[in-house]
Amino acid sequence: MIHPLDDLPLHQSSAPLMHPSSDSAGLYDRYFFNGFDRNGSLFFAVALGVYPNRQVMDASFSVVVDGVQHNCRSSRRCSTDRTVTTVGSIDVQVVEPMLRHRIVVSDHHGVSADVTANVVSPVIEEPTFVHRVEGRVVMDYTRITQFVEWSGWIKIDGERIDLADLGTVEGCRDRSWGIRGGSRGMPGPATAPQFFWTWAPTLFEGMCTHLAVNDDASGRAWHKSAAVTGRFPVGSLDVSGVTDARGVHRPESIGVDIAWAPGTRWAKAMTATVQTSDGGEIVAVYEPTQRFQMSGLGYLHPEWNHGQWRGELDETRDEIVLADVNPLDPTMVHVQQLCKVSAAGEHGWGVLEQLVLGPHAPSGFTGVLDGAS
C-alpha cells in the first residue's frame, strides 16, 4: 500500500506510511478546534478523527448560539488514503502546517461555515499519555496544543454570523494520535468506569497558559502537565518559530482545586496554581460563563461515538437546548466551559474541559455518576 508520501524521508519503521503501526482497535489520529468570542455569544468546536483499523473517518462541527447547541456529524469509510480529510460536507484543511487551518462546512442540513484558524502561540507538546488498567494499555498517545485566532463566517438556517462583527474570536487547536480506548469491547470481566480529566487552555493578552490533569480514584495524578508561552500577533511566527520548544516554559509543579456545582460533575469554579521554573507562581481563577456539550462532537454519544461504523457515508444534525440538559446524563457529563480567567494581574478567557466518571476522593465522588453535594 504505497502512497506518494512514502517518497519523503518520514518513515518510523520498515512499513509504508499507510500501514497502521498497531492492530489496536483504539488506534486513532485526530484534529480538534474550538473558538469563542469574549462576550460568550458564540462558541463552536470541530473534530475530525481517523481510525485506521476500523476503516472509519468521522468529523463533526458544533456551534452554540442563544442557548442552543447545533451539532453536525459525518462519518465515512476510510480504507486506504487517510490524507483526504473531507467527510461528507465537513472539510478540515491544513493550509500551512502548524500555522493555518481552514474548516469548511457545505450546507450540512442547514448549517454552513468557512472559518480559518491562525496560530498565535508556539506548539506545546504535551508529555505522552500512557495509562494501563491491570497491565492492559488503554491509552498511549501524543498531543500538541496551539492557541489561535479565527476569521470567517458561520450560517445556521439562513442566519449568518460574521466573526469580524464579534471582535476577537479566539480559541485553541489540538492534534493527538496513538491509542485511546484500545481495550473497549474486549471480552473479560466487567469493571466500573473511572476517569478524571481536566484540561484548561487559556489566552491572556500577553501570554497563553495550558494545563492537563488525569487522576485515579484516590486523586493521584497519572498524568499532569502545564505550560506557559508568549502570545504573538497573527502572522508574526514562521514554522521554525512555532516549533521552537524554547518558547514554551514548563512549570515545576501544578495544582488544581475544583469547586463543583451541586448535583453535577460540572465545575462551578476552579483555581489552578503553577510553580514556574524561576521560582515564581501563577494562580489562575476560572469562572464559567458558557457550556458546550462534547457529545455534539461524538464524545460518549450512544450512536455517533468516535470510530463507530456508520456505513459508506452517513450524516446527521441535531440540537441540544443547554438549559434542558440533565447534568448526570452519562452522555452529557463531558463538557467544555468557557471561563473568565484572572491570573498575575491579567484577565483572559479559557476553556475548562472536564470528564469525570467514577470515584474521585478529592471531589467527594464515590459512585459512577453521583453529583456533588
Residue 27, in any domain of the structure: yes
**How many domains is the chain built from?**
1
| 3-state DSSP assignment of residue 94 | strand
> Any idea what the CATH number is for the domain that residue 319 is in?
2.40.370.10
User: Given a cut of 70, is residue 178 above it in pLDDT?
Assistant: yes
**pLDDT digit string (tens) for 214-257?**
999 999 999 999 999 999 999 999 999 999 999 999 988 899 99
**What gap in Å lies between CA 360 and CA 349, rounded to an integer?**
27
**What gap in Å lies between CA 277 and CA 260, rounded to an integer?**
30
Q: Report which DSSP code applies to 177.
A: E
Residue 347, in any domain of the structure: yes
Q: What's the grid cell of residue 140?
A: 498511549
Q: Report which DSSP code applies to 8.
A: S
Residue 57, in any domain of the structure: yes
- Cβ distance 93 to 327 under 8 Å? no
278 compared with 78, residue with greater pLDDT: 78
Task: Burial-class residue 95 by CB neighbours within 10 Å (0-12, 13-18, 19+).
Answer: exposed
Quick one: what percent of the chain has pLDDT higher than 70?
A: 98
Confidence of residue 79 (pLDDT cuts 50, 70, 90): confident
Residues 101-115: what's their mean pLDDT? 98
**What gap in Å lies between CA 128 and CA 130, rounded to an integer?**
6
Going by C-alpha positions, the residue among 67, 64, 94, 98 that lies closest to residue 82 is 94
**What gap in Å lies between CA 49 and CA 277, rounded to an integer?**
35
- Give residue for cell 450524516: 315
Q: What is the pLDDT of residue 138?
A: 83
Beta partners for residue 259, in sequence order: 269
Residue range of the domain that includes 333: 4-363
Residue 304, in any domain of the structure: yes
Beta partners for residue 51, in sequence order: 56
**pLDDT digit string (tens) for 360-370?**
999 999 999 99
Q: What is the pLDDT of residue 224?
A: 94
Tell me the helix, strand and coil percentages in the chain, rounded to 5: 5, 55, 40
**What gap in Å lies between CA 322 and CA 270, rounded to an integer?**
21
User: Given a cut of 80, is residue 188 above it in pLDDT?
Assistant: no
The total of other beta-carbon atoms located within 10 Å of residue 108's CB is 22
| 3-state DSSP assignment of residue 7 | helix
Going by C-alpha positions, the residue among 143, 182, 175 that lies closest to residue 53 is 182
**pLDDT digit string (tens) for 19-76?**
888 888 899 999 999 999 998 899 999 999 999 999 999 999 999 999 999 999 999 9
Q: What's the grid cell of residue 31?
A: 484534529
Residue 369, in any domain of the structure: no
Residues 312-316: what's their mean pLDDT? 98
190 compared with 163, residue with greater pLDDT: 163
Residue 368, in any domain of the structure: no
**pLDDT digit string (tens) for 334-369?**
999 999 999 978 899 999 999 999 999 999 999 999
Q: What's the grid cell of residue 90?
A: 465537513
Tell me, rounded to whole angstroms, the distance of Cα 73 from its chain centroid: 16
189 compared with 259, residue with greater pLDDT: 259
Residue 373, in any domain of the structure: no
Q: What's the grid cell of residue 145?
A: 496544543
**pLDDT digit string (tens) for 282-307?**
999 999 999 999 999 999 999 999 99
Q: Find the length of the chain.
A: 373
Q: What's the grid cell of residue 118?
A: 491562525
**pLDDT digit string (tens) for 250-283?**
988 899 999 999 999 999 999 999 988 777 889 9
**What gap in Å lies between CA 310 and CA 74, rounded to an integer?**
9
Global pTM reads 0.95
Q: What's the grid cell of residue 331?
A: 452522555
DSSP string covering 209-273, please?
EEEEEEE-TTS-EEEEEEEEEE---TTS--HHHHT-GGGEE--SEEEEEEEEPBTSSSEEEEEEE
The per-residue pLDDT of the chain, averaged, comes to: 94
Q: What is the pLDDT of residue 309?
A: 96
Q: What is the pLDDT of residue 80?
A: 80
